[in-house]
Amino acid sequence: MAFDSSEREALRQRFREFAESRDRGIRDELITAHMGLAEYLARRFTNRGEPLDDLVQVAALGLLKAVDRFDPSRGLEFSTYATPTIVGELKRHFRDKGWAVRVPRRVQELHLRLGSVVSILSQELGRSPTIGEIAQSAGVSEEEVLEAIEAGHAYRFTSLDAPSGSDDESSLSAEIGADDPALLGSEHRVTLSPLIAQFPPRERTILHLRFFEGLTQSEIAARLGISQMHVSRLLARALAQLRTQTEDES
């Protein structure tokens, strides 16, 4: 979905009018104008076993929420604001369905089996085992181990009503509702998530370890049982691919 400069300015004006009037006619107009974005994001999730029509309906609900909550005075482009809202609605849909819908049974079973494999290896080796050692002990390939680990990271979640761990024991839902000074960075990370999901398991794991867990290339190499040079090459290739994809879609 792309608008030229005059269309973008016209839509900005309509958002300003909607912010003042809350007119349902303008709201419907804005939703219709941006349905292309909702459909585009819904298609990113079509490999998880759900019909596209259902996903588009879920994405449309996220779009509606984004239109209602968007504040044009903040200076953000609507697509930048709406993308994480729509993606969040889609992820919530899959989360509520349970992970059996999203992850193949063989990956679920391997993920569960790896717990005991890693525990036994850790006791035998006196350290955390490498991916290669886990794969050999489990009788599977390294790629299958990485896929199972990635699945476990991707689909674990915490209840929004659970205590956050802070002194006042407030729930996560209360904290999520607060203003976040890192909102823009978070929005960009969520925008990239559908692109990262298309990478092979090893590259996804490296990106997760480097940018979400903050590990160095040396630490990643030790964790995966490969050389630091290999980590560097894979990381550079993944970042270059991300850069190309985001430029193509801008």
Query: What is the separation of C-alpha 105 from the centre of its chain, rounded to a whole number of angstroms?
Result: 21
Question: Degrees (nearest 5) of the Cα angle 181, 185, 188?
Answer: 145
Short-list 49, 60, 64, CA closest to 90 = 60
Hey, what CATH topology would domain 183-250 get? Arc Repressor Mutant, subunit A (1.10.10)
List, for residues 50-107, the tens digit of each pLDDT value: 788 889 999 999 999 999 999 988 877 888 888 888 988 888 887 766 544 456 777 7
pLDDT-derived band at 8, boundaries 50, 70, 90? confident
Confirm whether pTM is higher than 0.85. no
pLDDT value of residue 205: 84
- First vs last Cα of the chain: how many Å apart? 9
Locate CATH 1.20.120.1810 in the chain: 9-102
Locate CATH 1.10.10.10 in the chain: 104-157, 183-250
Q: How far is CA 61 from CA 53, 54, 209, in A?
A: 13, 11, 32
pLDDT value of residue 248: 58
pLDDT value of residue 226: 87
List, for residues 147-166, the tens digit of each pLDDT value: 777 666 544 443 344 444 44
Hey, what CATH topology would domain 104-157 get? Arc Repressor Mutant, subunit A (1.10.10)
List, for residues 193-226, the tens digit of each pLDDT value: 566 767 788 888 888 777 766 778 888 888 888 8
CATH number for the domain formed by residue range(s) 9-102:
1.20.120.1810
